[in-house]
Amino acid sequence: MAPIGDRMAEALNVQAKWELFSSYLYLAMSAYFSATKLPGFANWMRVQAQEELMHGMKIFDYVIERGGRAELLAIDKPQFEWGSPLEVAEAVYDHEKKVTGLIHALVDLAAEEGDHATLNMLQWFVSEQVEEEANASEIVEKLRMVSGDRGIGVLYMLDRDLGGRLPKLAPVVAAK
């Protein structure tokens, strides 16, 4: 197979940067939840951060496997403060929708380049985004119900539930 084209490799390097930024952002959200004494939510975001790191590594490894040059781009400082757990969950949902758009643009580029191997690799990300958006949306919906007298009770129940979440895959090691 021919090595990956420069345009495709560059676009994948940019995507790896976004995945690593997602990891950084979710780790910042985890720290916010730890500071607000919601350890279950902090665990949820920590697990998400590990999964995003794995996504970035998956792309990094793929570029190298295809004979391209994996270039590490600068990662921005993520947001530090949020107004409420709902605000964080909404930000996660919005961020995942943005990432879905980026993945779909990569699929379009791979199709334009006639790069079938990259198209195939990206299908995993297309499916993953469906799941990530659904999970974030579910938590947004639950948090919207946290209002009124029973609000705090529901919030702590949700916190306990999220405290049990584990990563789907061990990060980094299972990158391929």
Binding site for ligand FEO (CB under 6 A): 19, 22, 52, 55, 96, 99, 132
> What are phi and psi for residue 81, nearest 5 degrees?
-130, 145
Instruction: Indicate the residue among 54 and 155 with the shorter CB distance to ligand FEO.
Output: 54
Whether 136 and 16 have beta carbons less than 8 Å apart is answered as no
Instruction: Indicate the residue among 79 and 147 with the shorter CB distance to ligand FEO.
Output: 79
**Least distance in angstroms from the C-beta of 71 to ligand FEO:** 19
**Least distance in angstroms from the C-beta of 27 to ligand FEO:** 13
Give start and end residues of each alpha helix (H) in the chain. 6-35, 39-65, 85-113, 116-144, 151-162
Instruction: Indicate the residue among 18 and 32 with the shorter CB distance to ligand FEO.
Output: 18
**Least distance in angstroms from the C-beta of 108 to ligand FEO:** 18
Helix (H, G, I), strand (E, B) or coil at 172: coil
Instruction: Indicate the residue among 90 and 132 with the shorter CB distance to ligand FEO.
Output: 132
List C-alpha distances in Å: 59 to 24, 25, 37, 176. 17, 19, 35, 9
**Least distance in angstroms from the C-beta of 131 to ligand FEO:** 9
